[in-house]
């Protein structure tokens, strides 16, 4: 055989081999995708959409294909382990949305739908190693990140108007467990945690600034540059940039009681109560009148500096349910503005004069504002007798109770000093209302 014929034969063999190889690849991809014309993701054009159908199992799945071997394998494995075939012969349709795609990570929400329900679940993948990131991968081993996330979640859920849960249900929804915070997205400046409360994953997002978590986060996930989205950065609203009040350390079996004082502040009486609170390492809640606070700004600042709560008791003690809409709004807003101006803090506690309120009143309070009434009323405004007030409070005192008093009467202030002494001797920790709420939350978590 001459050299020219031999050369032609080799070329023919080579071309035949390439045709076979290409055909095998096409068949493999066709089998893998089951197959449909190539489609690309609308938001991220470099990402291919794989469409598969399994008629026997009743499943149709769309999922992203990144042309990154380890990443694509991680997604396929995740779907195989996560998607459950329909048992009632109804078609299950699985779709996806890439919510964030950066140089470092990609976060994908998969939605499973059938005739009866729709369910979302998320996966975040480290693109460098093709591994799904779990919560404990994000944080340093020695950090108490679960407690911090739980505190933030509880505080946020409690203040969501569209989530109506009891304290126990709130505690369960924000429980410090890995599974509660397992679905998340790493943004450039924040981390979004998708909490499942019922089936409302999309409506219960916890958007926490990385600055708050930087001491706990693994160094490699702090980067802003690596987590910038490839197309357009998300600028989430309502990013949490401040931590909730630090948990107070109370032994589970220690009794707690909250002292509250209305109608002040007033020189000569309020300051003597503040002095006694310092002495007994105690906190209280002062429901101030705007008209009185305006005259005594230094007392208001002292309250806050000592760690006490300052709540609103309206501007001048009007019966709110009898006021016009305009008068009601003025009573609330004027007092709240004054408290914020003098203390730098929002008033998140409100006590209506005479305990009278209705839906009209609450509709004008801030969404983070709690209406606080009382459990024990010694009627100190009526009985201006120190011994009578002290005995009345002690007779009705109990763990977790809220005591109503007034810091504008000399007899009430004197009684408050003695009450603190006697309650402390009986093993009570005297706390503010916000501290009492936090303690109740901790007890719910522990139960």
Is the pLDDT assigned to residue 372 strictly greater than 80? Answer: yes
Arithmetic mean of pLDDT, 403-409? 98
Q: Is 133 helix (H, G, I), strand (E, B) or coil?
A: coil
In the chain, % of residues over pLDDT 90: 63
Is the pLDDT assigned to residue 415 strictly greater than 70? Answer: yes
Please give the pLDDT value at position 389.
98
Please give the pLDDT value at position 111.
94
In the chain, % of residues over pLDDT 70: 86
Confidence of residue 16 (pLDDT cuts 50, 70, 90): very low
Q: Which residue has the higher pLDDT, 166 or 400?
A: 400
Q: Tell me phi and psi for residue 50, to 5 degrees.
A: -95, 130
Residue among 397, 355, 349 nearest 373 (CA): 355
Please give the pLDDT value at position 32.
43
Distance of CA 102 to the CA centre of its chain: 25
Distance CA 57, CA 381 (A): 74
228 contacts 103 by C-beta, under 8 angstroms: yes
Distance CA 64, CA 66 (A): 6
Is the pLDDT assigned to residue 23 strictly greater than 80? Answer: no
Q: Which residues contact 274 (CB under 8 A, 6 or more apart)?
A: 299, 302, 303, 306, 308
- Helix or strand run (H / E) with residue 402: strand 402-406
Residue 129: other Cβ atoms inside 10 A: 10
Active-site position among 100, 283, 313, 406: 406
Arithmetic mean of pLDDT over the chain = 86
Distance of CA 131 to the CA centre of its chain: 27
- Helix or strand run (H / E) with residue 257: strand 255-262
Distance CA 407, CA 265 (A): 7
Question: Checking phi first, is residue 180 left (phi over 0); if not, alpha (psi -120 to 50) or beta?
Answer: alpha
Q: Which residues contact 2 (CB under 8 A, 6 or more apart)?
A: none
Active-site position among 72, 262, 271, 309: 262
Confidence of residue 117 (pLDDT cuts 50, 70, 90): confident
Q: Is 186 helix (H, G, I), strand (E, B) or coil?
A: strand
Distance CA 31, CA 52 (A): 9
- Written as one string, the DSSP assignment of 363-386 is HTS-TTPEE---SB---TTT---H
Distance CA 366, CA 66 (A): 46
| Residue 144 appears among annotated catalytic residues | no
Distance of CA 253 to the CA centre of its chain: 28
| Residue 100 appears among annotated catalytic residues | no
28 contacts 50 by C-beta, under 8 angstroms: no
Q: Which residue has the higher pLDDT, 447 or 136?
A: 136
Q: Which residues contact 135 (CB under 8 A, 6 or more apart)?
A: 145, 178, 181, 182, 184
Sign of CA dihedral 135, 140, 146, 149: negative
Confidence of residue 395 (pLDDT cuts 50, 70, 90): very high
List beta partners, residue 101: 106
Q: Tell me phi and psi for residue 428, to 5 degrees.
A: -85, 145
Q: Which residue has the higher pLDDT, 75 or 238?
A: 75
Distance CA 48, CA 69 (A): 13
Arithmetic mean of pLDDT, 377-405? 97
Residue among 234, 1, 226, 13 nearest 126 (CA): 226
Q: What is the pLDDT of residues 132-151, one digit of tens each?
A: 999 999 999 878 888 889 88
For the entire predicted model, the pTM comes to 0.53
């Amino acid at each position: 055989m001459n050299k020219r014929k031999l050369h032609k034969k080799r070329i023919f063999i080579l071309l035949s081999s390439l045709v076979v190889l290409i055909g095998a690849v096409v068949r493999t991809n066709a089998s893998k995708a089951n197959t449909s014309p190539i489609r690309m993701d609308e938001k991220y054009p470099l990402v291919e959409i794989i469409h598969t159908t399994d008629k026997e199992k009743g499943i149709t799945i769309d999922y992203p294909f990144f042309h990154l071997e380890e990443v694509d394998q991680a997604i396929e494995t995740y779907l195989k382990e996560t998607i459950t075939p329909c048992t009632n012969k109804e078609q299950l349709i699985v779709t996806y949305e890439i919510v964030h795609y950066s140089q470092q990570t990609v976060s994908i929400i998969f939605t499973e739908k059938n005739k009866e329900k729709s369910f979302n679940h998320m996966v975040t993948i480290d693109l460098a190693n093709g591994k799904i990131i779990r919560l404990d991968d994000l944080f340093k081993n020695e950090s108490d990140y679960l407690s911090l996330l739980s505190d933030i979640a509880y505080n946020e859920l409690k203040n969501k108007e569209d989530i109506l849960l009891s304290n126990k249900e709130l505690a369960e929804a924000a429980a410090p467990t890995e599974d509660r915070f397992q679905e998340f997205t790493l943004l450039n400046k924040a981390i979004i945690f998708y909490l499942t409360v019922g089936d409302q994953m999309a409506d219960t997002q916890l958007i926490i600034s990385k600055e708050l978590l930087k001491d706990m986060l693994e160094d490699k996930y702090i980067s802003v540059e690596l987590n910038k989205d490839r197309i357009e950065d998300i600028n989430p609203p309502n990013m949490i940039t401040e931590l909730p009040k630090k948990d107070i350390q109370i032994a589970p079996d220690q009794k707690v009681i909250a002292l509250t004082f209305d109608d002040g502040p007033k020189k000569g009486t309020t300051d003597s109560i503040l002095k006694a609170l310092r002495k007994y390492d105690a906190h209280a809640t002062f429901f101030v009148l705007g008209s009185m606070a305006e005259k005594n700004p230094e007392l208001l600042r002292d309250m806050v500096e000592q760690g006490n709560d300052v709540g609103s008791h309206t501007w001048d003690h009007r019966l709110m349910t009898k006021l016009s809409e305009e008068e009601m709004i003025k009573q609330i807003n004027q007092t709240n503005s004054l408290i914020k101006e003098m203390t730098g803090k929002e008033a998140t506690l409100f006590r209506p004069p005479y305990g009278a309120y209705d839906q009209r009143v609450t509709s004008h309070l801030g969404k983070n504002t709690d209406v606080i009434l009382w459990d024990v009323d010694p009627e100190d405004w009526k009985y201006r007798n120190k011994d009578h007030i002290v005995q009345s409070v002690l007779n009705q005192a109990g763990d977790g109770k809220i005591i109503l008093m007034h810091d504008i009467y000399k007899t009430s202030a004197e009684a408050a000093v003695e009450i603190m002494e006697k309650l402390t001797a009986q093993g009570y920790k005297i706390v503010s209302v916000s501290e009492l709420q936090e303690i109740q939350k901790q007890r719910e978590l522990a139960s």
